[in-house]
C-alpha cells in the first residue's frame, strides 16, 4: 500500500496546538515526550489495551515502564491506530521502515523525540489516512470524539463530521428557469431535490446536475440506436462556415404569487440516488441538491441536450439560491419560497453528463458558482460523438448519438400523463435533432457549435477542479485537455489525472481525494482562507501501484521524433473483411480489439523500441505518408505499450466492502483502488479521422485515388511513462468496430514508413 496525501496543510506549532485543543487534546509542552504520548492516547476514543509498543511490551506496559520513547515506538503505535496490523502488516521492530515504505507523512526524525516533536508528529498522524480509507481524525470524530452539535468544527482547515445526518431536511422545490423549450408561453419549471442538515445559520451548497437523476428511458434509448454497419460517404468539397447563435430568452410577465407559509416547502422525499462525495459533505455542514434540468421527469420542457437552454435550467437554480430567481412549492405554482437557508456559495460536482453540465454552467460566469469539480465531463459534444469529420461512437457504446442520449434522458415520457400530452411534439423535436446532428457527413455544424463550451471558457469565473481518467475512451481525455488549455490565466485550475477509465475516484484507498476537496470547498464556500497548497496537476503514475506525482503542466513543450521505418520501406493494410469475420466483429467489438492489438485484424503493425526512459505529456502527433485506392477513407490509429508486464486495471477493484463512513453510521462506502495485474499490453492513446478532413475540421478536401498524401493526426492527449526496453506498438487501420462506422468496402491503404514519423510531446 502507498499513501498519497495532498490534503495536509502545513501549520505552525501554535496552530497545531490550537487545532488539537479544539478536539480535547490539551498538551503541556513542558511535559516529557512520553507523557505527551500518554496524554494523547488516554484522551483518544481507542481501546489502548489492544496496542503494542514493542515486540516485548504492550502500550500499557510501556507507559508504566522506564523504557524511553523512540520514533520506532511512536510509529509502531501510530501505525496500529491507522489500522495496520502489527506482526502481520509490519514488524514492531521495523515500524519506521514500513512507515517510509507506505509514504506515511513523517516529522524530522533526525532529532530526539521531545514534547513539541511528538505533538507535531501526532498532528501529522491524525491527518493521515487509515488503511481502511478515512483519516484518523475523521474516524475518531465519527466515533464520537466531538458531539453532534450542528455547528462547524475544523481540523487542519477541513470541516469535521459534526452535523447530524439523522435529522436531515429533505424537500422539493420547483425553480423557474428563464427558458421556454416548448414554446408554451411560460417559463419551464425545474424540479430540485434538496438535502440539508439543520442549522441556525446559512449553508453552502454542493450541487449535482444530472439528467439521469429522476429516471432514464432505457427502452427508448435502445430502440433509437443507430446502425453502424454502413459505408463511408464521400462528402462534397468545400469549406464549412459556422455561424454563431445566441440564446434569446423570452420575456414573460411575472404573475403575483403569495409566499409559502413560514417559507416552508410542502413536498418531501425519502431517498434517491446520491453521490457519495456529496453525502460526505452533508455531514460536514454543506447542503446537497440535485437538479435534472429541462425535459426530465417532473420538470417542464424538452430535452435540448447540452445547449444553452439546458444549461440555463441548471444556472437558474444557482440564481434562486442567490435570490435572483423564483421557486415554487409545487408545479401548480401556488406559492413561492426563497432559499433563506443558503449562503449563496455553490460548488458543482459529478461525473460524465454531470461534469458536463458543471463545465457548461461555469462558462456562463453565473454569480455564486465558486468552484466546479468536473469529473470526466464533456466540453464539446461534437468531440464526444464525432472526431475529425468522422462519426465516432464513445467507447463501449457503438451506435449511440446525441439523439439516442436525448431519448434516454427525456424521462418525462415515463409518466403516462406527460407522455400523452407532450410526446407527439417531442418526437418532432427529436426528428429535427436527428437531422441537425448529421450522421451522414459527420461534419461540424451550427448544431454542434451550440453545444461546444470551449469558445466560452473566457467567461469562467469559478475555480476549476478537473478529474479525468487517462484510460477513459468514453469521455476521452481531450475534453479535459482542451478545457484546461482554453481557460484564461486568471482562472485557478487544478487537475487530477488518474489511470482509470470512466470512473469515480473519491473512495480510493491510496488518495486523500475527499479530504483534499474538503479543504478546498471549506475555504471557497465558507468564506475562509484557502490555505491548501495544491499542485496544478496530480498525476497517477502508470505501471506503479498507488503512486501519484505532482506536475506543473499539462502538455509538454518539447518533442521527440521517432521515424516509423527506413527510407523506401513500405507497408499496407486492407479495409474489407469476409462476411463471417465482419459479422463476428460487428457482434463483439471486444473480439475485434483483441485481434487488432495482437496483429490478427486488418492493420499495419509497427513496433518501435524505446531506448531510454520517456514521459509523454500531451497529444502524440502522427505524420503519415499514405495512399489508398479510393476517393474516401477512414484512418484509425492506436498506440500500445506492448509486451507482458504488470499494469494497472482501468476499473477499480473492491478492497473492502462498506468500510468508509461518510458521516456517523451514514452512507457507508466501499474501499476501492486500481490494482496491478498481468497484462499483455496497455492502450496508451488512440485517434480517428475522415481523410477528407485531413487538413482541418472545417475544410473538406478530395482524396485523390492512388496518390501519396501527407496526413497529420493528433491522438488523444495522455501522460504516460515508457521505460527503456519497452515496445511502443503503433497500430494503423481503417474501420474500428467499437468506435467508427463499420465501412466494409474493398479499400487498400499503403504507407511509406520512411516518410512517416511520430512526434512525442515531452517535458
Catalytic residue numbers? Answer: 352, 472, 502
SS3 517: helix
Task: Kindly give the interhelix angle for 33-43 and 115-126, rounded to the nearest 10 degrees.
Answer: 30
Report residue 719: phi and psi, to 5°. -125, 120
112 vs 33, 50, 68, 70, 170, CA distance in Å? 10, 27, 11, 8, 54
How many Å apart are CA 750 and CA 26, to the nearest integer? 76
Helix/strand/coil (H/E/C) assignment for every residue in 238-276: EECCCCCCCCCCCCCCCCCCCECHHHCCCECCCCCCCCH
C-alpha cell at 41: 492516547
Q: What is the DSSP string of 103-164?
A: T-----TTSPP-HHHHHHHHHHHHTSBPTTSSBHHHHHHHTTSS---SS--EETTEE-S-S-
Report residue 121: phi and psi, to 5°. -65, -40
The answer to whether the beta carbons of residues 294 and 198 sit under 8 Å apart is no
C-alpha cell at 480: 479535459
The answer to whether the beta carbons of residues 433 and 463 sit under 8 Å apart is no
How many Å apart are CA 346 and CA 598, to the nearest integer? 49
* Cβ-proximal residues to 9 (8 Å cutoff; 6+ apart), any chain: 156, 157, 519, 531, 532, 533
298 vs 186, 270, 432, 627, CA distance in Å? 16, 16, 24, 55
Instruction: Tell me which residue of 573, 567, 702 sits closest to 635, measured CA to CA.
Output: 573
Rg (alpha carbons) of the chain, rounded to whole number: 29
Instruction: Tell me which residue of 362, 314, 319, 343 sits closest to 492, measured CA to CA.
Output: 362
The answer to whether the beta carbons of residues 127 and 140 sit under 8 Å apart is no
Q: What is the DSSP string of 69-109?
A: P-HHHHHHHHHHHTTPPBTTTB-GGGHHHHHHHTT-----T
Amino acid at each position: 500500500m502507498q499513501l498519497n496525501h495532498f490534503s495536509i496543510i502545513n501549520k505552525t506549532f501554535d496552530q497545531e496546538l490550537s487545532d488539537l485543543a479544539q478536539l480535547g487534546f490539551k498538551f503541556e509542552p513542558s511535559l516529557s515526550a512520553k507523557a505527551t504520548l500518554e496524554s494523547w492516547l488516554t484522551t483518544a476514543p481507542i481501546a489502548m489495551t489492544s496496542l503494542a509498543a514493542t515486540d516485548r511490551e504492550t502500550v500499557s506496559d510501556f507507559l508504566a515502564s522506564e523504557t524511553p520513547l523512540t520514533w520506532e515506538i511512536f510509529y509502531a503505535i501510530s501505525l496500529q491506530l491507522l489500522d495496520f496490523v502489527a506482526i502481520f502488516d509490519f514488524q514492531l521492530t521495523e515500524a519506521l521502515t514500513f512507515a517510509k515504505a507506505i509514504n506515511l507523512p513523517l516529522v524530522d526524525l533526525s532529532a530526539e523525540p521531545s514534547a513539541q516533536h511528538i505533538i507535531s508528529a501526532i498532528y501529522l498522524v491524525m491527518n493521515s489516512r487509515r488503511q481502511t480509507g478515512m483519516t484518523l481524525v475523521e474516524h475518531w470524530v465519527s466515533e464520537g470524539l466531538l458531539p453532534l452539535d450542528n455547528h462547524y468544527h475544523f481540523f487542519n482547515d477541513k470541516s469535521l463530521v459534526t452535523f447530524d445526518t439523522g435529522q436531515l431536511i429533505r424537500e422539493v422545490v420547483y425553480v423557474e428557469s428563464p427558458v421556454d423549450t416548448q414554446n408554451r408561453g411560460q417559463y419551464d419549471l425545474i424540479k430540485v431535490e434538496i438535502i440539508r442538515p439543520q442549522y441556525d445559520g446559512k449553508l453552502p451548497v454542493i450541487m449535482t446536475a444530472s439528467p439521469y437523476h429522476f429516471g432514464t428511458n432505457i427502452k427508448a434509448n435502445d430502440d433509437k440506436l443507430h446502425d453502424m454497419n454502413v459505408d463511408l460517404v464521400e462528402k462534397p468539397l468545400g469549406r464549412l462556415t459556422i455561424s454563431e447563435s445566441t440564446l434569446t430568452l423570452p420575456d414573460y410577465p411575472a404573475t403575483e404569487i403569495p409566499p409559502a407559509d413560514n417559507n416552508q416547502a410542502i413536498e418531501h422525499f425519502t431517498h434517491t440516488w446520491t453521490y457519495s462525495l456529496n453525502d460526505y459533505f452533508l455531514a460536514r455542514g454543506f447542503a446537497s441538491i440535485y437538479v435534472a434540468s429541462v425535459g426530465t421527469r417532473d420538470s417542464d420542457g424538452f430535452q435540448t441536450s447540452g445547449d444553452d437552454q439546458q444549461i440555463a435550467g441548471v444556472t437558474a437554480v444557482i440564481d434562486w439560491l442567490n435570490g435572483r430567481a423564483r421557486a415554487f412549492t409545487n408545479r401548480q405554482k401556488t406559492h413561492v419560497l426563497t432559499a433563506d437557508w443558503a449562503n449563496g456559495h455553490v460548488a458543482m460536482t459529478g461525473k460524465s453528463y454531470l461534469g458536463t453540465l458543471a463545465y457548461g454552467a461555469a462558462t456562463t460566469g453565473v454569480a455564486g458558482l465558486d468552484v466546479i469539480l468536473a469529473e470526466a465531463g464533456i466540453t464539446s459534444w461534437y468531440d464526444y460523438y464525432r472526431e475529425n469529420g468522422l462519426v465516432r461512437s464513445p467507447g463501449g457504446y457503438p451506435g449511440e448519438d446525441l439523439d439516442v442520449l436525448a431519448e434516454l434522458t427525456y424521462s418525462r415520457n415515463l409518466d403516462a400523463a406527460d407522455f400523452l400530452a407532450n410526446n407527439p411534439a417531442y418526437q418532432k423535436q427529436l426528428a429535427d435533432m436527428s437531422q441537425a446532428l448529421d450522421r451522414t457527413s459527420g461534419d461540424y455544424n451550427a448544431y454542434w457549435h451550440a453545444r461546444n463550451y470551449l469558445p466560452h471558457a473566457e467567461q469562467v469565473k469559478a475555480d476549476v477542479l478537473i478529474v479525468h481518467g487517462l484510460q477513459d475512451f468514453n469521455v476521452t481525455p481531450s475534453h479535459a485537455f482542451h478545457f484546461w488549455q482554453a481557460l484564461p490565466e486568471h482562472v485557478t485550475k487544478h487537475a487530477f489525472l488518474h489511470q482509470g477509465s470512466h470512473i469515480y475516484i473519491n473512495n480510493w484507498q491510496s488518495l486523500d481525494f475527499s479530504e483534499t476537496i474538503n479543504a478546498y470547498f471549506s475555504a471557497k464556500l465558507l468564506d475562509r482562507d484557502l490555505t491548501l497548497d495544491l499542485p496544478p496537476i496530480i498525476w497517477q503514475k502508470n505501471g506503479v501501484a498507488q503512486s501519484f506525482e505532482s506536475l506543473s503542466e499539462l502538455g509538454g513543450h518539447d518533442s521527440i521524433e521517432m521515424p516509423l521505418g527506413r527510407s523506401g520501406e513500405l507497408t499496407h493494410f486492407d479495409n474489407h473483411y469476409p462476411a463471417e469475420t465482419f459479422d463476428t466483429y460487428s457482434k463483439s467489438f471486444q473480439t475485434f480489439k483483441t485481434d487488432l492489438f495482437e496483429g490478427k485484424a486488418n492493420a499495419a503493425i509497427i513496433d518501435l523500441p524505446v531506448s531510454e526512459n520517456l514521459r509523454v505529456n500531451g497529444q502524440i502527433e502522427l505524420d503519415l505518408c499514405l495512399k489508398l485506392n479510393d476517393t474516401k477513407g477512414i484512418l484509425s490509429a492506436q498506440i500500445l505499450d506492448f509486451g507482458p508486464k504488470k499494469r494497472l486495471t482501468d476499473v477499480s477493484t473492491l478492497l473492502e466492502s462498506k468500510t468508509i463512513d461518510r458521516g456517523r453510521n451514514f452512507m457507508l462506502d466501499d474501499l476501492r483502488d486500481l490494482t496491478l495485474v498481468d497484462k499483455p499490453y496497455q492502450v496508451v492513446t488512440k485517434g480517428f479521422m475522415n481523410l477528407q478532413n485531413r487538413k482541418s475540421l472545417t475544410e473538406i478536401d478530395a482524396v485523390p485515388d492512388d496518390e501519396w498524401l501527407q496526413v497529420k493526426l493528433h491522438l488523444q492527449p495522455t501522460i504516460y511513462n515508457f521505460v527503456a526496453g519497452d515496445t511502443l506498438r503503433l497500430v494503423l487501420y481503417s474501420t474500428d468496430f467499437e468506435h467508427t462506422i463499420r465501412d466494409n468496402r474493398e479499400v487498400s491503404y499503403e504507407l511509406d514508413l520512411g516518410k512517416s514519423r511520430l512526434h512525442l510531446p515531452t517535458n
